[in-house]
Structure 1
Amino acid sequence: MTPPGATPAAQTSSHEEEKQPENEDITMGNTTTATTTTTTTTTKPNNSNKPKKGRELMTCTIRAPPFAYAQLAVVSDTSSSTTDDLDALQVRAYCTSALRQFLGDTGAGMAVDILSVTGSSCWVRVPRADLGAFAAALTAFGGVSSTNSGGGGAKAAMLVLQVRACGDWLGSLIGRAEQGALWTS
């Protein structure tokens, strides 16, 4: 049995809102204030059977790139000798000598693209499959002899190509190289 003025549960729709106001009078001297509290209850049907609507904006598959990149720098075995600026021919000669010494004629035939030469450092591009052999050849290379002819007593210094960074993604390598310049300047 339902109380008078109430709606039976069988007649209440699940989408209707039910409001129950509560009035309370507060007396403060000569002033009367009314406070109203409203409670709202909403029942929504369960839509778990419906597929969610959404759109795929972009799909991107990153595959292994065909090339890998390396940053090289010329360093000297003596701290007193200064290294001159590199050029593309010197980088090509140093890389070819290192690859020939480590891998023979097969290494000398490796495709090495010189991308940038600035000061005593450079960026090269090699096939991704050859990056390990390239880095190993340059690491194992003994260097080339260089004499500074600045006067009578020319002293020979060994110049070595040092691998500063190497990897598949050029953007991350450049960011790492610039990060080092942040702390040294």
Structure 2
Amino acid sequence: MTPTEPQKPASRELLTCTIKSPPFSYAHLELATDNDVDDDALELDNLQVKSYCTAALRQFLGLTGVAIPVDILSVRGRQCWVRVPRQDLGSFAAAVTAWNGVTESGSHRLLRIKRCSDWLGVMVGVDGQEQLWNDRGSDPPP
């Protein structure tokens, strides 16, 4: 009898990387209003996003909430992307959800969480899918 050699796998593993706990989490927020008259003209800016997030955190958690760092990554129209420390995402989401908003120019305004995750790539991929299937300006696929 001849000794048999162990069979080699058909594919090879080139690189393995495991990230157990990312340092940051991400939230996609949208400005919601009760007045549909000026919806197209209404846009967020960095200062409004920071002000609204700080107000929500202060109302929900007091000084502890104000101490949570919120990094504004992008503001486009009525939508914005923010980054918070991973361990604070639950508190941030609860604060924004519980915040009753502000009244400006006769219109009630508040931030609505569209989605949040520890992985920005997952959220961006979903946003691209929504734009693909919900784009009202293009013709429907055949």
Q: TM-score range by the shorter chain?
A: 0.7 to 0.9
Shift of 1:57: 3.0
Relative to 1, partners in 2 of residues 1:165 and 1:56: Cα closer, same or farther, differing over 3 Å?
closer
Cα 1:85/1:56, change in 2 over 3 Å: closer
TM-score if structure 1 supplies the norm length? 0.66
Residue ranges of structure 1 left out of the alignment (5+ in a row) = 1-13, 15-44, 148-155
Q: Which amino acid in 2 is paired with 1:58?
A: L
Structure 1 equivalent of residue 92 of structure 2: 134
Match of 1:106 in 2: 64
Paired with 1:98 and 1:158, the residues of 2 have a C-alpha distance of 15
* Letter of the 2:20 counterpart: R
Map residues 163-174 of structure 1 onto 2, 5 A cutoff: 163-174=113-124
- Provide the identity percentage: 52
- Whether the aligned pair in 2 keeps the contact of 1:81 and 1:157 (CA below 8 Å) is no
Pick closer, same or farther for the CA change 1:53–1:182 going to 2, 3 Å.
closer
Q: State yes or no: 1:143 paired with 2:106.
A: no
Alignment of 1:63-142 (within 5 A): 63-82=20-39, 84-142=42-100
* Alpha-carbon distance in 2 for matches of 1:96, 1:89: 10
Relative to its length, the structure with more helix (as a share) is 2
From the two aligned structures, give the one with the greater strand fraction.
1
Counterpart Cα distance in 2 of 1:81 and 1:57: 54
How far apart are the structure 1 equivalents of 2:59 and 2:97?
11
Following TM superposition, by how much is the alpha carbon of 1:59 offset from its aligned partner in structure 2, in angstroms?
2.6
Counterpart CA distance in 1 for 2:14 and 2:130 is 37
> Aligned residue for 2:138?
none
For 2:27 and 2:16, locate their aligned partners in 1 and report how far apart those are by CA, in whole Å.
29
**Number of matched pairs:** 132
Structure 1 distance, partners of 2:58, 2:92, is 11
Name the amino acid aligned to 1:114: I
Stretches of structure 2 that go unaligned for 5 or more consecutive residues are: 136-142
How far did 1:56 drift? 5.1
> Normalised by the size of structure 2, how large is the TM-score?
0.85
Letter of the aligned partner of 1:172 in structure 2?
A: V
C-alpha distance in structure 1 between counterparts of 2:18 and 2:126, whole Å = 24
Bigger shift: residues 165-174 or 53-62: 53-62
Which has the larger Rg? 1
* RMSD (Å), alpha carbons: 1.9
